[in-house]
Amino acid sequence: MRMVCWSVCALVLGCGAPAEEEAPKQSGEPMNVVFILADDLGYHDLGATGSTVYETPNLDRLAAGSIRFQQGYAGSRVCSPSRATLLLGQYTATHGITDWIGARQQEDWRKSGRHTTHLSAGYVWELPHEATSLAEAFRESGYRTFFAGKWHLGSEGSMPTDHGFEVNVGGNSRGWPAGGYFDPYENPELPDRRPGENLSMRLADETKDFIVARRDTPFFAMLSFYAVHGPVQTTEARWRHYRDKLVAGGVADRGFALERRFPIRTQQDDPTYAGLVTQMDEAVGLVLDALDSLGIAEQTIVVFTSDNGGVASGDDYATSNLPLRGGKGYQWEGGTREPFFLRVGDRYTARDVEAPVTGADLYPTLLALTGSPVTPEQEIEGRDLTPLIEGEDWPYRYLYWHYPHYGNQGGDPSSVIRYGHWKLIHYWEDDHDELYHLGRDPGEQQDVAADHPEAVISLQAELLSFLLQRKAQVPYADVRYDAAAAAGRQRFYRDTLLARLEAERMDMLREDWQPNADWWGSR
């Protein structure tokens, strides 16, 4: 690994003036916490963040009353690493869960049939027990703890109840809903209840029941939706609502383009995905309404974010993250920029905050906001955001992402560092770097590495030093790489898959389209 010593401080422009300082309202009662985590939701998948297609009135309402971090980031471009970052307050290179748990690694990567020049690095397969999870920290502070939904941070011996949650509803080793979004769920941690019941509504209902039962004691409830991860499913009524809306608005001639490796979606015009988003929004509304009806909304912190960007290619090709480049699995902004809302009861006035923040920051922030005096076992790399919320000056800092894998969506094995407006991507296949100035080019269309060699040297040195200190694993060359097979794979993406995706897109907008006899059992 190359190491270069340099100073970056002189290379980056200032952040701008801080917001006017705000004194928080005080309360003698401990704050409850409801942490709502979406799966695979893109930054522009909400009305509040710019979608003109998907209807999300409940999340828009939450956003209107929240501190809205306009440059909020997930800890990773895929799920398990990002979730570990939220629960541990650490970057992925530190806790070692750098890919979704179950993804092929090292020699086993060849079985994927991708014919890449390198083999994906190894990674940790469960949340480390020696660390203090966010749930364990809250339990030490006397909170009751609850988990509902997607876990994907280990199997038997590393389930939510092994990491501080007293109750687990639906969390298991899988990263997707095995039975789909309608009962029967085929989930060993979620008994079937009513045929056709929606999974997102069920998880929200279980969360509401916990809140009702524990409303007189401080609680930490984590509602971790499986939505909007594939399989992309909705009811016939919701599909038809969005199909008619899209057709009336005019359908673009093309909905896909070729990214560096895979086709990628360029239009938010999948009516089934739109229905899946709206169903999750309705479930969020169920929980928010419960807080209001119980009279505890002002005493409850509500967090909403997603674990990675929207799926624009490789899995379900479900949404578009434009004008951000890429999506889930990608090294560009579409892979990690997220809706990032924090409503702190009635303590702070809702507003936008522009400083870059990351999922690792939520661990120390929530402990600080609730006055929980816990000293975790692990180093906390996230930063307490309360001074930023209160309007204090926010000096620049480095943010890091490490993903030494190819993944399912077409992104490259690479590591990323951000400092101020600069973002550097280091690619592990050939050790080249891309440099973007996000203030001038948020869509990452202009690589300016050749124009700013001093910034490249400085940021690369900091990034590689960080990774070396944490003994981060990296991919390595595959001695059995077949260039001809790789070229054939790329021809398939260009000549066959792209046309197939366009045909499927238009087919789903036909008035008589039907996925199966009973719309995935929703009837």
Q: Which two tokens stand for residue 418?
A: 């951000």
Dihedral of CA 23/27/31/37: which sign?
negative
Question: What pLDDT is stored for residue 394 in this prediction?
Answer: 86
pLDDT of 439 reads 96
In angstroms, the CA 158 to CA 64 distance is: 37
pLDDT recorded at residue 202:
98
Give the pLDDT of residue 254. 96
Q: Residue 363 is inside which H or E element, if any?
A: helix 362-369
> What is the pLDDT, as a whole number, of residue 27?
52
The residues, any chain, with a CB within 8 Å of residue 247's CB and separated by 6 or more, are 509
Tokens 């799926």 appear where? Answer: 311
pLDDT tens per residue across all 523 residues of the chain: 333 333 333 333 333 333 444 544 445 678 999 999 999 999 999 999 999 999 999 999 999 999 999 999 999 999 999 999 999 999 999 999 999 999 999 999 999 999 999 999 999 999 999 999 999 999 999 999 999 999 999 999 999 999 999 999 999 999 999 999 999 999 999 999 999 999 999 999 999 999 999 999 999 999 999 999 999 999 999 999 999 999 999 999 999 999 999 999 999 999 999 999 999 999 999 999 999 999 999 999 999 999 999 999 998 899 999 999 999 999 999 999 999 999 998 889 999 999 999 999 999 999 999 999 888 989 999 999 999 999 888 889 999 999 999 989 999 999 999 999 999 999 999 999 999 999 999 999 999 999 999 999 999 999 999 999 999 999 999 999 999 999 999 999 999 999 999 999 999 999 999 999 999 999 8
CA distances from residue 465 to 68, 73, 284 in whole angstroms, order as listed: 32, 22, 41
Q: What is the pLDDT of residue 415?
A: 98
Cα angle 323, 327, 333; round to 5: 60
Q: How many residues does the chain have?
A: 523
Show the tokens assigned to 305.
């974010």
pTM comes to: 0.93
Distance (Å, rounded) from C-alpha 254 to C-alpha 514?
22
Confidence at residue 13, expressed as pLDDT on a 0 to 100 scale: 34
Structure tokens at 190: 């979620």
The confidence score (pLDDT) of residue 391 equals 87
d(CA 344, CA 390): 12
Instruction: Identify the bridge partners of residue 264 per DSSP, sorted by sequence position.
Output: 257
3-state secondary structure 265-282: ECCCCCHHHHHHHHHHHH
